[in-house]
Copies of this chain bind each other. A is one copy, B any other.
């Protein structure tokens, strides 16, 4: 196919960039003191744990990326759900389950899918590649905010360049 000559990024590239970013975000979660993770904020913003719940909820859209069958919400937990992680260890466990979910689902995404448009979560229309970029941008955005939280708590954040 002629048009494929103009394509320059592989699915493996995309997955490696995303998971590299997710490894760094995991280290940022780890760097927070337990209480500050769930309570500390600046400028009327959310605690970092609430940002992480949003990131995990978006990542669970990976099934929609692969199949077009989307979760109806990015909220994984109803208000008051006792299963919602309330400790750093539980939040990290949720993060790691999500890592596995992404890795297991990724190889099932058809290559042509990345240039298709879909209504993600029943709400946001966009091409699949764009949705993935947006989710990753959203993660980097909130993680950058987590860096400011850590700095103002007197904690040196993990190195930004390290994605190992």
User: How many A residues are at the interface, by size bracket?
Assistant: 35 or more
Interface residues of A in 1-23 (CB under 8 A from B): 4-14, 17, 21
Residue-wise, chain A 106-131 has the 8 Å CB interface mask toward B (1 for contact) of 00000100110000000000000110
- Find the B residue at minimum CB distance from A44: B151
Residues of A bordering B, CB below 8 Å: 4-14, 17, 21, 42-45, 111, 114-115, 129-130, 133-134, 136-138, 140-145, 147-154, 160-161
Pull 25 A–B residue pairs with CB atoms less than 8 Å apart, ordered by A: A4-B4, A4-B5, A5-B111, A6-B10, A6-B12, A6-B111, A7-B8, A8-B11, A8-B111, A8-B129, A9-B14, A42-B151, A43-B148, A43-B152, A43-B154, A45-B148, A140-B140, A141-B141, A141-B160, A142-B144, A144-B144, A144-B145, A145-B145, A145-B148, A148-B149
Closest 10 CB pairs of A and B: A43-B151, A144-B144, A7-B7, A9-B9, A8-B114, A141-B144, A43-B152, A140-B140, A148-B148, A4-B4
